[in-house]
Amino acid sequence: MTIPKKYIAHLDLDCFFVSVERIKNPALNGKPVAVGGSADGRGVVASASYEARKFGVRSAMPTRRALQLCPQLIVVRGNHEEYGDYSNKLYKRMFDFTPIVERASIDEMYMDFTGCESLYGNDLPALMTTLRQLVWKEFSLPCTIALGSNKYIAKIAAGTVKPAGVCFVPHGEEKNFLAPLPIDVLPGVGTKTAPLLREKGFRTVADIQRTSRKQMNTLLGEVGTHLFTIANGEGPDALTVDWERKSISREETFDHDIGDISQVTKILHSLSEDVCSTLRSYHWKAKTVSLKLRYADFTTLTRAVTIKPTEDDTVVFVAVNELFRAAYSRKKLVRLLGVRLSNFSDREGGELDLFPGDGRRSQMFDAVDKLRKKFGDDVIHVGS
């Protein structure tokens, strides 16, 4: 029995958050833009345009530092619910081309085209170009797509042709393709592993290919074995189709450390509204509510509580506020607050509502979300 060649594609939306903001405001096109926290506070960059990256602006960088590097940087607050809507629509659209799509994150997905070759004239590389053009035409989103024999090859290949590129690594050419690339392209090579490998003389993937699995294991343990496998062109070629988001979270780092409980309460209420709005966009309810609390000295606490599945801003706020009051030390100022929802169930599933008004309250929240989406988050709030 002949085992069919695997064809795995990786689709990566380029500067996704920034791209969505540019759809809403075309005046941002061609300018250095970052989506992230407060421009004059301790917020961080969630996404940066390529124009901004030329100045050294990167994701996870403090916004204040980003502005120092690029004074003309335009910082946009962002709307994660809208980003989720775009991501969901694109994800569903890709099922028109292949029955197997794995969602890796809000801006990345894998597609399995194994066995689909004849459907596309035995020219899957050409299909990748068609798909890239389709994503731009239908969604106005730039993306990069790469095709290879497994997920690692496809993802690494996409990284070599960003932005808005297309790449195909033929079967049997995986090692040759990887050989000249820097070791940093390999998943698992991070800020700690890279310096260690360079200290031992590893600069390119070819250097790892020339060693042995045993030597890599001796050097880095299981991580070394893993890197040797990837460097030699091997990787997973089966997709996980039942993707499920594990959690929804929102956090805020403050311009100045705060100790005013009334201010903390307002922030927790705002964060609760934010995560619940995203929760409802997926038509889910959450059973676990978590608090993240970071003091001015960077001491960080996390607390969680399990409640009846809910999508209600007020219920989540009450739960997280109680967690805060139980954990808070009045002698310390607060640097960061975060609210996280997890343990999801379908909105229509689970137990029946205990109170007749619950259904009407869900309808009310649907109306609230529509108003916020049209006029902004601050147009309406639900009493706490």
| Catalytic residue ranges | 108
List of residues 6+ apart from 261 with CB closer than 8 A: none
CA separation for the pair 377, 372 (Å, rounded): 5
Closest CA to 110 of 98, 96, 123, 122: 98
User: 333 exposed, middle or buried (CB, 10 Å; 0-12, 13-18, 19+)?
Assistant: middle
Closest CA to 282 of 336, 342, 234, 193: 342
CA separation for the pair 145, 17 (Å, rounded): 18
Bridging pattern class, strands 143-148 and 166-168: parallel
Bridging pattern class, strands 33-36 and 74-76: parallel
**Inter-axis angle of helices 80-94 and 357-375, nearest 10:** 100
Half-sphere exposure of 244 (CA within 13 A, CB side): 9
What Cα–Cα distance (Å) separates residue 257 from each residue in 263, 272, 300? 11, 20, 14
